Amino acid sequence: MRGGAADIRSWLDSRLPVQSVVDFARHKTVPAHRLSVVYYFGGMTLFFFLVQVLTGILLMLYYRPSADAAFESVEFIMTTVPFGWLIRSIHSWSANLMVFFVFLHLATVFFTRAYRKPREITWISGCLLLFLTLAFGFSGYLLPWNQLAFFATRVGTDVAAAVPVVGEWMMRFLRGGDHVSGGTLSRFYGWHVAILPAITTLLIALHVLLVQIQGMSVPPSETAIAQRRRPLKFFPNFMLRDLFGWVLALGLLASAAALFPWELGEKADPFAPAYADIRPEWYFMFMFETLKLVPGGEVAGVEYEAFPILFFGLGALLMMLVPFLDRTGNNRMVLPIGVVAIIYMVGMTAWGYRSWVPVLIVLATGMLTAVLALATRRVPRGGS
Ligand code: HEM
């Protein structure tokens, strides 16, 4: 039996660089310091993405992307397909958790200044992954073809029209016509199940490859500690801890999906009067609320609404440029601007929901991260 395994190994070795990969994994280490816990958040985001791919493929087997059949096919999944309700619920919960963890991962790599040289491309690919994740959310929201999603998509795509010069074109490109219709649904489906997954998979591969090539960065505040401590072996020590987190996340997902199944609502009716309580997904709420504050009107042919849209566009661009604005990692302006941006986003979200819950969630996440950092701040002797 051993002989068989060794034969296969040597057969592969002479065709693929298996031994170099094994050597790489054997020598790979993760720095040990008081903030090592942040190294798990990227992997957690990856876990939710994998859940999305798996459950998404299962949903595709029954989902039908047309205005006549979409809602009914989701209803069928929830009532008739064995465990269909669970798969749909896990897909929806995991989507939200993925967005949550992308933001958390972004915030931690930002505050630990992991974007510094030579990780500029890792950071930029990460920003693109954030935009892709949001695009997944936006396109997926419409697919069940229910009232809330229909009207939210109408408002969401209307926003694009306010962009000067290219706005009208962008709106029609998104909708596949002048109105949100069955055509928009097929278009969103194409983005959601083919274009976005293909680009995202390639970008994640690049992102993770860069992390492998460059190794994990050490936050400036932890350099001295990381030099004194023996690093953690990636394989198997760090990987097992990562997997432990994934098992916990799977438990959380399954419980949330089983205890709070995702609602379907009523079928979209394009001719019904606009839905009273139109609201986007929580991660678009801060932009939605900002736009609601802007009065109607225009100046020099540009709608007032265009200004906050351009402001958010500029914010996204600035975020991508962070590694170049803080080349040395000691720019005193960068972190306070990040704090102000977070306060604004969380504040506007709380305002949008007229609730303190978003603030409490962010505070609880910060506290939990601090508790985890405290609990794992000492690595046992021997680095295991
Ligand atoms: C689909 C979304 C994403 C996935 C699956 C992902 C995955 C990962 C993984 C597995 C790691 C290594 C472990 C870790 O440091 O946490 C990592 C590191 C990193 N990610 Fe992401 N990431 C995503 C989005 C982002 C975003 C939005 C940013 C920031 C704009 C970002 C920036 C970085 C940086 C700079 C590192 C290196 C960290 C270091 O060296 O300490 N990533 N990512």
Give pLDDT tens digits along the chain (384 positions): 567 889 999 999 999 999 999 999 999 999 999 999 999 999 999 999 999 999 999 999 999 999 999 999 999 999 999 999 999 999 999 999 999 999 999 999 999 999 999 999 999 999 999 999 999 999 999 999 999 999 999 999 999 998 989 999 999 999 999 999 999 999 999 999 999 999 999 999 999 999 999 999 999 999 999 999 999 999 999 999 999 999 999 999 999 999 999 999 999 998 888 777 788 999 999 999 999 999 988 888 888 999 999 999 999 999 999 999 998 888 899 999 999 999 999 999 999 999 999 999 999 999 999 999 888 766 555 444
> What pLDDT score was predicted for residue 381?
54
Give the C-alpha distances (Å, rounded to integers) separating 99 from 48, 134, 235, 277, 324.
9, 7, 28, 23, 25
> What pLDDT score was predicted for residue 383?
46
Give the C-alpha distances (Å, rounded to integers) separating 71 from 57, 144, 166, 264.
18, 5, 32, 8
Helix, strand, coil content of the chain in percent (nearest 5): 70, 5, 25
Burial readout 90-110 (b: 16 or more C-beta within 10 A, e: otherwise): bbbbbbbbbbbbbbbbbbbbb
Q: Find out whether the beta carbon of 124 lies less than 6 Å from any atom of ligand 1.
A: no
Q: Find out whether the beta carbon of 98 lies less than 6 Å from any atom of ligand 1.
A: no
pTM, two decimals, is 0.95
Give the C-alpha distances (Å, rounded to integers) separating 76 from 16, 88, 323.
46, 11, 48
Instruction: Please give the distance, rounded to the nearest whole angstrom, from the Cα atom of residue 205 to the centre of ligand 1.
Output: 11
Of 381, 31, 45, 17, the C-alpha closest to 234 is 31
Of 264, 262, 312, 320, the C-alpha closest to 288 is 312
Q: Find out whether the beta carbon of 105 lies less than 6 Å from any atom of ligand 1.
A: yes
Compute the C-alpha angle 161/162/165, nearest 5°.
Answer: 80
Residue nearest to atom 24 of ligand 1 (CA): 126
Q: Find out whether the beta carbon of 108 lies less than 6 Å from any atom of ligand 1.
A: no
> What pLDDT score was predicted for residue 329?
85
What number of other Cβ atoms are within 10 A of residue 239's Cβ?
15
> What pLDDT score was predicted for residue 380?
54
Residue nearest to atom 1 of ligand 1 (CA): 129
Residue nearest to atom 25 of ligand 1 (CA): 126
Q: How many residues does the chain have?
A: 384
What number of other Cβ atoms are within 10 A of residue 381's Cβ?
8
Report the nearest atom of ligand 1 relative to the CA of 218: 41
Q: Find out whether the beta carbon of 49 lies less than 6 Å from any atom of ligand 1.
A: yes
Which helix or strand (DSSP H or E) is residue 17 part of? none
Q: Find out whether the beta carbon of 127 lies less than 6 Å from any atom of ligand 1.
A: yes
Report the nearest atom of ligand 1 relative to the CA of 133: 1
Q: Find out whether the beta carbon of 99 lies less than 6 Å from any atom of ligand 1.
A: no
Instruction: Please give the distance, rounded to the nearest whole angstrom, from the Cα atom of residue 44 to the centre of ligand 1.
Output: 10
Q: Tell the residue number behind the tokens 């962008």, with chain if given.
A: 170
